[in-house]
Structure formats: structure tokens, C-alpha cells
Amino acid sequence: MELEFPFDPVRRSEEAERLVMSGGKRLYHKFRAAPYYGGIATADAVGCSFLCAYCWNYGRNLDPARFGRFTAPDEVARILLRIARRRFFRLYRITGSEPILGEASFHHLLKVVTYILREEPRSEFVLETNGLLLGYTEGLAEQLRIPNLSVRVSLKGTDENFFEKITGARRNFFPYPLRALRNLEERGVRVWPALMGDFFTEEDVNRLKRTLQEFGIRAGLETESLEPYPFVLENLRKRGIIRAETL
């Protein structure tokens, strides 16, 4: 994939989808039980519209075609169900990538979710997304009105400047994840925003909270902490997000 910072993340989504989708199948490189949310069956996919400096899957999302195996949605669902039943989990997710890169990946995701919730109607699927296309493309949010589906929108900064530094994407795309949150709330989808809080002052976070209020978003803001892998810290330094002495 060609890359020049800052980039158009919608175009990057299109390019990534062409690489990671084939005949309804998507590239996955791992399936596992994870401790997050109290225990969740997890599918690790590749391909993202952003290239976040702190992403633990940075290398695979930089060049996604080199990793993983094309897997059909029903096979993804069956693997996750086996993991969950062995561990007595009731939560499921796809992570390490952006699940919604375009029409093909969106329909793949819906098939995975529908299969799991049909087989285990008392379970819950947590859709982890950057929210870009849910705010950019009309009609997607409406299709996520699915019982037992909740959506966690990961915000990549408290303003346009941080957004561009962290994601590598052009700053004018900053509002789209916020629009996604509003679109989903208006349609009655359980949704909330999340932010990697390590890089921001209290003033930064309060500014974001005011922005969320201006967009009419009612859900509270979740903050998460950085996994300080050496390559992550190096990426953050190169982008000017942290100082060299932090390494």
C-alpha cells in the first residue's frame, strides 16, 4: 500500500479492503481468548483505515496482505464460539484492525455477528471500531441495530492536531468518528467513545468532552492505557507525540 503522511483514510480503507477481502472472506492471523472485558473470544484481523502510532498491530496493518489466512464469516463465528464455550465467555469481538473498511468487510462482519448471536442469543458482540466509515457513509449505522451488539468507538485524539499525529490521516477527517457516535445513538444502538488517555492533559480531555456534548453525544468517555511496546514508543517519538527521553 502506498503511504504518504498525512493520507486520506477513506482511500486507504478502500485500498486495505481490496487486500484483505476475497470472495466474502477476510484475512485473520489469530484467534484467541483474551482477558479484556472480563474475558472475551477474540479474532485478530488485519487491515485498517488509520495507521495509529500506538497500534500494537502496526506492522500487520502497514502491509496487511502479507499476514493471515482468508477465512469465511461462518468459520470465524464457529472458531469464536468454540473458544467462548471452552472458557465460559459470553463476549465476542474482532480486533487488531478496522472491521468496517467498506461494503465487503461490513457484510462479512454482519454475517459473523448474526451467526454468533443466533447460536448464543444470550451473548454479546462488542464491535470495536474507529468509527470513520460509520460517520462517513450513510446507512451503515442503521444496519447495526442488532440486539446484543454494542459498539465501542475508539477516538484517536482530542482535536484535529492530535488526530493527525496519532492516526497519520488528514486532520479534516477528525469529525467523522464523532458523527458515528451520534448516528448510532440516534438509532438506539448501545455505543460509547474510548480514548487512549496517556498523551493528554486534563484540559485536553475536558475539551474533547465538550466536543462530544456539542455533537449531542450522551455516552460517557472510557479511557484506556498504553501498551508500551518498544516499537510503539519509537513510533510515538517519530510522530512527535512523546519526547525522546520517554523512550
**pLDDT (tens digit, 9 = 90+) per residue, 17-69?**
999 999 999 999 999 999 999 999 999 999 999 999 999 999 999 999 999 99
Cβ distance 180 to 153 under 8 Å? yes
How far apart, in Å, do the first and last CA atoms of the chain sit?
29
pLDDT score for 1: 75
Q: What is the pLDDT of residue 166?
A: 97
> What pLDDT does residue 132 have?
98
Confidence of residue 243 (pLDDT cuts 50, 70, 90): low
Q: From CA 206, how far away is CA 159, in angstroms rounded?
A: 11
The pLDDT tens digits of the residues spanning 63-114 come to: 999 999 999 999 999 999 999 999 999 999 999 999 999 999 999 999 999 9
**Alpha-carbon gap, residue 63 to 27, rounded angstroms:** 12
The fold of 9-246 is TIM Barrel (3.20.20)
Is 27 within 8 Å of 47 (Cβ atoms)? yes
Q: What is the pLDDT of residues 138-172, one digit of tens each?
A: 999 999 999 999 999 999 999 999 999 999 999 99
Per-residue 3-state assignment (H helix, E strand, C coil) for the chain: CCCCCCECHHHHHHHHHHHHEECCEEEEEEEEEECHHHCEEEEEECCCCCCCCCCCCHHHHHCHHHCCEEECHHHHHHHHHHHHHHHCCCEEEEECCCCCCCHHHHHHHHHHHHHHHHHCCCCEEEEEECCHHHHHCCCCHHHHCCCCEEEEEEECCCCHHHHHHHHCECHHHCHHHHHHHHHHHHCCCEEEEEEEHHHCCHHHHHHHHHHHHHCCCCCCCEEECCCCCHHHHHHHHHCCCCCHHHC
* 32-38: long-range contacts, CB 8 A cutoff, minimum separation 24: 32/83, 33/83, 33/86, 33/87, 33/89, 34/95, 37/91, 37/93, 37/126, 38/91
The pLDDT of residue 242 is: 82
Confidence label for 3 from pLDDT (cuts 50, 70 and 90) = confident
Looking at per-residue confidence, does 242 or 132 come out higher? 132
Cβ neighbours of residue 152 under 8 Å, at least 6 residues apart? Answer: 126, 127, 128, 129, 191, 192, 194, 222
Domain residue extents for the chain: 9-246
What count of other Cβ atoms lies within 10 Å of the Cβ of residue 138?
A: 8
Q: Inform me whether the pLDDT recorded for 247 exceeds 60.
A: no
Angle at 161 between CA 158 and CA 162, to 5 degrees: 50
Query: Which of 66-75, 147-156, 194-203, 236-245 shows the lowest per-residue confidence on average (mean pLDDT)?
Result: 236-245
Question: Which pLDDT score, from 0 to 100, does residue 168 have?
Answer: 97
